[in-house]
Amino acid sequence: MSFLDTAVDERPILSADPDWWRGAVIYQIYPRSFQDSNGDGIGDLSGIIHRLPHVADLGVDAIWISPFFRSPMRDFGYDVSDYRDVDPMFGTLGDFDALISRAHELGIRVLIDLVLSHTSEAHPWFTESRSSRDNARADWYVWADPKPDGSPPNNWLSIFGGSAWEWDGERMQYYLHNFLAEQPDLNFHCAEVQDEMIDVARFWMERGVDGFRLDTVNFYFHDKELRDNPPLAAEDRNDNTAPSVNPYNFQNHIHDKTQKENIAFLRRLRAVCDEFPDRTTVGEVGESQRGAEVQAEYTAGNDRLHMCYDFDFLSGQAPTGEFFARVLTRTNRTLGDGWACWAFSNHDVPRHPTRWHLNEPALRVMTGLLLSVRGSVCLYQGEELGLTEAYVAYEELQDPYGKRFWPKFKGRDGCRTPIPWVRDHHHGGFTDGKPWLPLAMEHLQRAVSLQYNEEGATLDFYRRMIRFRKAHRVLAKGSLEVTASGEDHIAFIRAHEGVRMFCAFNLSGEGMSVPAPEGSWKQDKGAPFRAEFNEGVVKLPPYQAFFGLEGNGA
């Protein structure tokens, strides 16, 4: 079959399963760069519909679509000016309804990216709020008077650089923006704001979406007293939330985000989701100092979020076995009955083959590891092709974040370049016009057309590894216990309903032996890896993995 053929084996209509999200594989689509259908150089909803068979063939459970709402696009959709409509550059509400219908026909659930913490400055709510101090929406945003000397109310910093406060000459006050100045923060201490956001969630669920990825979910509330953040010791700083060149990392952000009031709102949001069958939520936790603890707080019990992810595996931390073991063990210890969601790449960080300096064999064993840990998994578009970070010249840069900190931080455009669908097209089959970002020429050698029917290609590897994960319920639902780790390896046991699976990964270019834990292990050769198992010892060639079963699955 050619990848151009749109006919695929359609799966049965999605059956009811309130637990489908637990262990699901979710494919993130950044719509601007997925597929353009009208030649304007920008991907759109019709383009996504056209390429859904590729996603279905990959075998994932759901897609997550980055924002497509009306927006001035100062932050490319993460600055919303109308939560209940599609921006014309992406299509119409009718196109979105058609996307939902087609995805469900193919057995794919649909999550959309809800950006609730802030809006665009062009949103009518903000226009009204800034017009006076006594209008109907005067307190829908976070306004504060200046200090006596005219300076901002406190020392809070923006993730995009500089003060988190912007002076407004019309209202003669500062307003809070944790991101761009064009992205004013909503005031969740205002009950009407909460009510409105609950109604937004209900609007999209009534249109058939299966859940939400919640952008910056721990930024909804701020400290009402506007207290200064304390400094953070140099040894405690990391680049999980902001790049190292950004002084945002110099503060301990205990007052401008992750406030206790957020739990009550998350309960309200979960309650409205529970009005609809089989819906889910995954929250993005931007918290450098205690991400795992916040994940646990936000996913505890059955009345908050279903799952959360933080930035441990999206950071520049060297991906050693010891690093993975430390993160997974800490998560086990803190998460309790909560649930994690993991990703190596997304639209905000350099693609992980480049970020972690991975060759092709290393990329594959890392992917095998990602698809074997406890939790759900997000894959970023192009990851299944083995795409590397693209170079984007300053003259072609679109990302305001990159322009702010160039050249030490080049922004997020390098992971957002268009998907190469065919090799013999100078824009990779993404568009017939000029793409909004240039397609990386080296990516043409990894085009879908080249890999689609090639046994052993990166795309084939992803299909096989996802299929292997789905064939073993223990990998999707089971517990995890780390049994061994070192600079170049990690091993753990997954267990679920009487089945145990021993997983061992060689993360190095040298062969090694790893002793298996006590048990009657039987090697499962269904995974796209090779290893030898004899007398309780696993022999792992370079960048290979072992999977052994015990119990009902052996």
Q: Dihedral of CA 237/299/327/415: which sign? A: negative
Kindly report, residue by residue over 311-370, the tens digit of the pLDDT: 899 988 899 999 999 999 999 999 989 999 999 999 999 999 999 999 999 999 999 999
Helix, strand, or coil here: 192? helix
- What contacts 24+ positions apart, CB below 8 Å, involve 133-136? 133/171, 133/173
- Judged by average pLDDT, the poorest of 105-109, 287-291, 335-339, 383-387 is 287-291
Indicate if the pLDDT at residue 12 is higher than 70: no
For the chain, the domains span 25-120+189-470, 478-551
Is the distance from CB of 184 to CB of 126 less than 8 angstroms?
Answer: yes
- pLDDT, tens digit, 9 for 90 and up, residues 257-305: 999 999 999 999 999 999 999 999 999 998 877 888 999 999 999 999 9
Which residue shows structure tokens 């020392």?
A: 155
What CA–CA distance (Å, rounded) separates 114 from 219? 13
543: pLDDT strictly greater than 60:
yes
CATH architecture classification, 478-551: Sandwich (2.60)
* Predicted confidence (pLDDT) at residue 396 exceeds the cutoff of 90: yes
Average pLDDT over residues 522-531: 96
Comparing 310 with 352, the larger pLDDT belongs to 352
Residue 10 annotated as catalytic:
no
Two structure tokens written together for 80? 């919303």
Q: Which residues contact 183 (CB under 8 A, 6 or more apart)?
A: 74, 75, 78, 79, 118, 119, 120, 121, 177
275 is catalytic: yes
Among 20, 45, 27, residue whose Cα is nearest residue 35: 45
CATH for 25-120+189-470, options being 1.10.287.610, 3.20.20.80, 3.40.50.720, 3.40.50.2300: 3.20.20.80
Banded model confidence at residue 488, pLDDT cuts 50, 70, 90: very high
Question: DSSP secondary-structure letter at 203?
Answer: H
Residue 501: CA count within 13 A, CB half-sphere:
28
Across 216-251, b (16+ Cβ under 10 Å) vs e yields bbbbbbbbeebeebeebeeeebbbbbbbeebebbeb
- pLDDT value for 275: 96
* C-alpha Rg value of the chain to the nearest Å: 23
Q: What's the pLDDT band for 24 if we cut at 50, 70, 90?
A: very high
Q: Model confidence at 458, in pLDDT bands (50, 70, 90)?
A: very high
pLDDT digits (tens, 9 = 90+) for 46-102: 999 999 999 999 999 999 999 999 999 999 999 999 999 999 999 999 999 999 999
Do domains 25-120+189-470 and 478-551 share one topology? The answer is no
* Average pLDDT, integer, range 401-415: 92
Q: Which of 275, 360, 442, 497 is catalytic?
A: 275
* Predicted pLDDT of residue 425: 86
What is the strand order of the sheet 537-540 is part of? 512-515, 537-540, 532-534
Q: How far apart are CA 412 and CA 349, in angstroms?
A: 6
Candidates 113, 215, 256, 284; catalytic one: 215
At 554, the pLDDT band (50, 70, 90 cuts) reads low
Burial class (CB within 10 angstroms; exposed 0-12, middle 13-18, buried 19+) of 116: buried
Mean pLDDT of 487-503: 97
pLDDT digits (tens, 9 = 90+) for 191-228: 999 999 999 999 999 999 999 999 999 999 999 999 99
Please give the pLDDT value at position 244.
Answer: 80
User: Residue 524's closest CA among 467, 463, 468, 456?
Assistant: 468
Q: For the stretch 299-308, what's the b/e string if a residue is b when 16 or more beta carbons lie within 10 angstroms of its beta carbon? A: bbeeebbbbb
Report the pLDDT averaged over residues 241-264. Answer: 91
pLDDT in tens, 415-440: 999 999 999 988 999 999 999 999 99
Tokens 């976070």 — which residue?
Answer: 142
Give pLDDT, residue 9.
57
pLDDT in the model for residue 1:
47
What pLDDT sits at residue 11? 56
b/e map 311-350, b = 16+ CB within 10 Å: bbbbbebebbbebbbebbeebbebbeebbbbbbbbbbbbb
Q: So what's the pLDDT on residue 479?
A: 97
Task: Tell me the pTM.
Answer: 0.96
What is the Cα–Cα distance from 420 to 49, expressed in whole angstroms?
A: 17
